[in-house]
């Protein structure tokens, strides 16, 4: 630590300032640098609906004697499809299982969540006309683009003479990168 002394000479207008350094004192550096760094890792985020799901396909209300097919899109937060956001310049894959009531690899909706009565259905992903079974769908996120919507369409085959009730199934979707 330093000490400053000021002397005034009597009768002379002279001011002297002296800086006396204590032993062991050093001058401090007035400039120094430091680094700032961050590691950005690959990752993805999927938007969910109010129930914490990635979406829902609602095939509507139909007669128990209806025949033919009914279709609907997967909706999530009023968007048709699974909303996925990933790090730019990466590829992710999305796969689906066969659900809770599959028979011979064919997805089935079960009456009141059970397998007591079944309605077969198919899923179609990303505009494909080939049913989406368990194969992966590849999604590329190019530089500057981070958001994608994966459209998913469900189609059920109605055979007529179906027991009245609510038919459901749960399909588990896996996003990998």
What's the pLDDT tens digit per position in 108-120? 999 998 888 999 9
Give the count of domains, the chain: 1
- Band of residue 92 on the pLDDT scale cut at 50, 70, 90: very high
Confirm whether 147 is domain-assigned: yes
Is 4 within the bounds of a domain? no
Q: Is residue 7 part of a domain?
A: no
HEC sequence for the chain = CEEEEEEECCCCCCEEEEEEECCCCCCCCCCCCCCCCCCCCCCEEECCCCCCCCCECCCCCCCCCCEEEEEEECEECCEECEEEEECCCEEEEEEECCCCCCECCECEEEECCCCCCEEEEEEEECCCCCCCCCCCEEEEECCCCCEEEECEEEEEEEECCCCCCCEECCCCEEEEC
Model confidence at 24, pLDDT cuts 50, 70, 90, reads low
Is 25 contained in some domain?
Answer: no
pLDDT tens-place string over residues 116-163: 899 999 999 999 999 999 899 999 998 888 899 999 999 999 998 899
Judge whether 119 lies within some domain: yes
Work out the percent of the chain whose per-residue pLDDT is above 70: 85
Specify if 110 maps to a domain: yes
pLDDT, the chain, mean? 87
Res 49: pLDDT:
80
Q: Domain span at residue 68?
A: 44-176
In a domain, 97, yes or no: yes
The pLDDT of residue 27 is 79
In a domain, 2, yes or no: no
CATH for 88: 2.60.40.1090
Better-scored residue on pLDDT, 74 or 16: 74
């Amino acid at each position: 630590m330093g000490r400053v002394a000021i002397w005034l000479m009597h009768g002379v207008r002279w001011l002297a300032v002296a800086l006396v350094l204590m032993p062991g004192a050093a001058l401090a550096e007035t400039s120094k640098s430091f680094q700032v760094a961050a590691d950005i890792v690959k990752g993805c985020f999927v938007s969910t609906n109010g129930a914490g799901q990635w979406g829902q396909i609602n095939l509507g209300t139909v007669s128990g004697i209806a025949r033919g097919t009914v279709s609907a899109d997967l909706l999530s937060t009023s968007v048709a499809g699974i909303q996925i956001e990933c790090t730019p310049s990466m590829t992710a894959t999305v796969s689906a299982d066969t659900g809770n009531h599959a028979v011979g690899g064919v997805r089935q909706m079960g009456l009141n969540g059970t397998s007591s009565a079944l309605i077969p259905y198919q899923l179609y992903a990303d505009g494909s006309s080939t049913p989406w079974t368990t194969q992966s769908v590849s999604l590329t996120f190019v530089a500057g683009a981070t958001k994608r919507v994966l459209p998913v369409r469900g189609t059920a085959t109605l055979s007529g003479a179906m027991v009245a009730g609510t038919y459901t199934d749960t399909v588990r979707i896996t996003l990998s990168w």
